[in-house]
Chains A and B, each alone.
Chain A
Amino acid sequence: MKKKYAVWILGGIFIIILYGIVDPDKFVFPKCPFRVLTGLLCPGCGSQRAMHQVLHGHFLSSMKLNPLFLPGIVYAFVGAIISNFFPGTWPEVRHSFYGLKAAYLALIIVLVFWVGRNIF
């Protein structure tokens, strides 16, 4: 179990350094395969640039590149901490924020966003 966390923490530090130093807008970074194949935007497009902006404290520019990135990361981070380090505690919180309604809401938001950003 400890090994697993070490891998995640090292991976996280690597990503933070990589995206903190390199601006994906200026340097060649992997482009979204969905975008390359279809020419359309997917729900994750812009998140690499958004990550760079977040790491530099430019939250507004991050929201402009991909408005789901910052809220999604914060939500997922809190959820991961709760389920990994406090399993079984606060079942009500888990039920309300990471349960059925949350999953449906996430699904609707992602799909609406996906369609919407390709139309507008």
Chain B
Amino acid sequence: MEQYYYTDGKERYGPFTIEQLRGRNITPETLTWKEGMPDWLAAKNLSDLQTLFMTSESIGSTPPVIMTPPFREMPPKNWLVESILVTICCCLPFGIVGIVNATKVEALWNTGQKEAALKASQEAGKWVKIGFFTGIIVIALYIILVFFGILAGIGAGLSH
């Protein structure tokens, strides 16, 4: 049985068989993909999906949207895991900016905007690193302060 994927421009759905696609509001313009196809195509261009539109008439054609077929290529690093780690371990809200950027990476990639997704990925990485290194610097400064505090205390104790 052939397995089909379709997208609403935001999320990918699938795999489904033709029978399963029936209840899923597929229009002739819905972008669909199955194993072996080089790119997404409107459902009306797939001969095997025509049974879905027996009653509906296909309307004017739209230019094909360039999209990445499902799971063919891995999306860029979204930094979600690192952002969450920075958020819960590092007390600074930079991790939250990282999580917001992670959602952008995924949303852009799912709609086929490769370049923008790569950019968002770099942005996410940048904020994770800012958060991480700010945390490290704060901890280092703190340790130095405590260390000098202890030295000062010892000094004061000796002079008495």
Q: A63 at interface (Cβ–Cβ under 8 A)?
A: no
Most buried by A among B84, B99, B103, B146: B84
Answer whether A42 and B91 are a contact pair too, CB < 8 Å, given A100-B107, A103-B103: yes
- Judge whether B74 and A88 touch: CB under 8 Å: yes
Does the CB pair A79–B81 fall under 8 Å? yes
A98 to B96, CA, bound (A): 16
**A contacts with B: majority SS:** helix
**Cβ contact within 8 Å between B91 and A44:** yes
Please give me the residue from chain A that is nearest to B88 by CB atom: A72
Q: Name the A residues within 8 Å of B12 (CB-CB).
A: 95
Residues of B within 8 A of A (CB-CB), count: 33
B93 near A34: Cβ-Cβ < 8 Å: yes
B91 touching A92, Cβ below 8 Å: no
The complex places the Cα of A68 from the Cα of B87 at a distance, in Å, of: 10
Main secondary structure on chain B at its contact with chain A?
A: helix
Is B143 an interface position by the 8 A CB rule? yes
CB distance from A22 to the nearest CB of B (A): 12
A40-58 CB mask vs B (1 if < 8 Å, else 0) is 0011110100000000000
Interface residue A112 (Cβ < 8 Å from any Cβ of B): no
A60 within 8 A of B: no
Decide: B81 and A103 in contact? CB cutoff 8 A: no
Q: Determine if A110 and B87 form an interchain contact, defined as CB atoms under 8 angstroms apart.
A: yes
* Size category, A interface: 35 or more
B92–A106 contact, CB under 8 A?
A: no
Residues from chain A with Cβ under 8 Å of B116 in the complex: none
Closest to B10 in A: A100
Distance in Å: Cβ of A89 to nearest Cβ of chain B? 10
User: For the complex, is B80 an interface residue (Cβ under 8 Å from A)?
Assistant: yes
A-B contact pairs, 12 of them (CB 8 A): A30-B138, A33-B138, A34-B92, A43-B96, A47-B91, A76-B85, A98-B78, A100-B106, A103-B80, A103-B99, A107-B103, A110-B96
Query: Inside 8 A of B66's CB, which chain A residues have their CB?
Result: none
Question: Which A residues lie within 8 Å of B85 (CB)?
Answer: 72-73, 76
Across the two chains, which residue of chain B brings its CB closest to A41? B91
List residues of B (43-94) whose CB comes within 8 Å of A's CBs: 71, 74, 77-78, 80-85, 87-93
Are A91 and B74 touching (Cβ within 8 A)?
yes
Q: B11 on the interface (CB 8 Å rule)?
A: yes
B88, A43: Cβ atoms closer than 8 Å: yes
